[in-house]
Structure 1
């Protein structure tokens, strides 16, 4: 089984070299992606493929349910490096409809260690309980909570000191909220982009 992965890798590398002989020599140099992708760990959501970017063009951070928690050192380290070293111009918070983590938070079942991780989504669900309760079925509630979660994570990213400092020094940086649909492979822009402190403060 693992041999298949090695064989796939060899075939991929050979195809890349045939299509673009200088690909790996360029990749070996310093990366300079314009985008940071904060997405879900779900295996059905391959970041680079979805937006048609090659290796080196998209800096990626993934976790269960695409959270951007202000107390998580892993996420914060990625964000700081992306903003201060790579100088990305866009942070993309990308959720997806049908997210198992969001569904688990909505169900409220006790799952163990991950319960702590999903707690912020349960808080979002509680804040918007009336809106969610008005939706006709479980799938609609889950998918709306996927959107609400992305919107909250956009604000989490925009409130971080690394992003605020970048804006203060005039660095071009925007934080976007997208949702990917497994049903058709398309990304939806939720229209919650923030590009300055003024925009952040104006959308409280």
Structure 2
């Protein structure tokens, strides 16, 4: 079992870090307390191995964050929708990043049915992604490849879900929508993989007649 730091150690670490920051810049916390204007909204997984500030090498104040199991863009989650609205309407972020990761427990739970209760309900949309792509996924050579591919499909699906929200659609109509990116973090290497998801069809959609549907695929 991995050793972990005690609460006392964490508080000591905090005091040491705060002193180091003030030594580098006496106004560091004064400036930080004045407000935030982050350019990024990050939608990621709650997994404890996802310390995004370390992987992305960014400072406090640069990223507005929403995290949940398996980085879901849930269209009925008022918590998520509130974060999205605040990020776009008030913070006016320039970019939205949907970031999944390999070795994701939520993806495993969806594919292999290894959980129950609320978590099982939460990952149902991922299970539906699998069923829609079952033949392709089942033909992959091994378990890890299947899980990792489903993690990528899930990110693509969540990017698509962003464009189902009235918040993003309204921003698109007013030509002020952030750029949306789909990433997967490879925990084996620590590297971020940009899935290079095209969202051009969705940017055109708000000006299309209501009878037209946007051409978007997740495969």
Residues 1-204 of structure 1 correspond to what in structure 2 (within 5 A)?
1-194=6-199, 197-198=203-204, 201-204=214-217
With the length of structure 2 as denominator, give the TM-score of the two structures. Answer: 0.89
Return closer, same or farther for 1:101/1:110 CA change in 2, 3 Å cut-off. Answer: closer
Deviations 1:46-67 (A, max 9, x none): 1122111111100010001000
Paired residues of 2:41 and 2:65 also in contact (CA < 8 A): yes
- RMSD of aligned residue pairs (Cα, Å): 1.5
- Per-residue deviation at 1:5? 1.0
In the aligned structure 1, how far is the partner of 2:108 from the partner of 2:115?
A: 12
> How far is 1:167 from its partner?
1.3
Question: Once the 2 structures are TM-superposed, how far is the Cα of residue 194 of structure 1 from its aligned partner?
Answer: 2.5
Structure 2 portions without partners, runs of 5+: 1-5, 207-213
CA distance in 1, matches of 2:117, 2:163: 30
What is the TM-score with the length of structure 1 in the denominator? 0.95
Shift of 1:19: 1.8
Provide runs of 4+ in structure 1 moved above 3 Å.
none
Residues paired across the two proteins, number: 204
Q: Would the alpha carbon gap of residues 118 and 179 (structure 1) be closer, same or farther in structure 2, given more than 3 Å must change?
A: same
Per-residue CA shift, 1:41-97, capped at 9, x if unaligned? 111111122111111100010001000010111111110100111000111000000
Give the C-alpha shift of residue 199 in structure 1.
7.0
